[in-house]
A and B are shown apart, each in its own frame.
Chain A
């Protein structure tokens, strides 16, 4: 999946499956232009059966409040179906945005994908 049709490729989203856990890999810049398109791509990802999600942000260079909203929506969906959402791989400036938004205290955030897969089980 990518946003080639936008003409300006700033973001790619890939969903991988790791032993029943869905790993969402975000790459590039998640800004107010492409957030709704990314939300569309992730629509339907969280279900009662598929409720364990890892979001790998190691290659995410930028996130704005539009991207934070998307993560918050996903977290609420996962909570509703009794699943688990774990975020990993944040660069320091991305982590700062999550911290000042108060998101670090309401979301599970770990360093590596390996840790994330362990805590999402």
Chain B
């Protein structure tokens, strides 16, 4: 399945609707578990929110392409955008989950969630575009 989104946060509800419909339509053995849809939706929301917020400093209309492919006991998700080159995995995970309430920074959680909820996540810059790919287990 492919979803084409505009670079505005108003597209996030449509993204989450699309993910729900996609996961409901997955059939066969193995079948996705109850956590598959919520995990997939969350990881896509976090990654795409980052793209929308930071990849287009000069604004303008851009298209973000999301493809979702069933692969055995997992879904492979790929997000492609034509924004400025940005590897969200370049920096080490900034979130220290042991920190106390006072010491917890407000932010940095999005990429932490993607790392923890996916089996693997990878970034590449190809043909002038950012590609972020991650695998969500059933």
Q: When chains A and B are docked, how far (Å) is the Cα of A70 from the Cα of B97? A: 17
Instruction: Decide if A31 touches B16 in the complex (CB within 8 Å).
Output: yes
Known interface pairs A64-B42, A76-B101. Does A96 touch B35 (Cβ–Cβ under 8 Å)? Answer: yes
B128 on the A face (CB < 8 A):
no
Instruction: Report if B90 contacts A (CB, 8 A).
Output: no
B109:A32 contact, CB within 8 angstroms:
no
Contact B100 A32 (CB under 8 A): no
User: Chain A residues near B18 (CB, 8 Å)?
Assistant: none
Hey, which chain B residues are within 8 Å of A93, CB to CB?
34-35, 38-39
A-B contact count (CB 8 A): 79
- Is B106 at the interface (CB under 8 A from chain A)? yes
A66 to B110 Cα, complex, angstroms: 8
Q: How far is the CA of A69 from the CA of B113 in the complex (A)?
A: 13
Contact A62–B104 (Cβ < 8 Å): no
Contact of B113 among A31, A101, A107 (CB under 8 A): A101
Residues of A at the B interface (CB closer than 8 Å) are 6, 8, 10, 29, 31-33, 62, 64-66, 68-69, 72-73, 75-76, 79, 92-93, 96-97, 100-102, 105-107
Spell out B's residues near A (CB within 8 Å): 9-10, 12-13, 16, 34-35, 38-39, 41-42, 45-46, 49, 95-102, 104, 106-107, 109-110, 112-113, 116-117
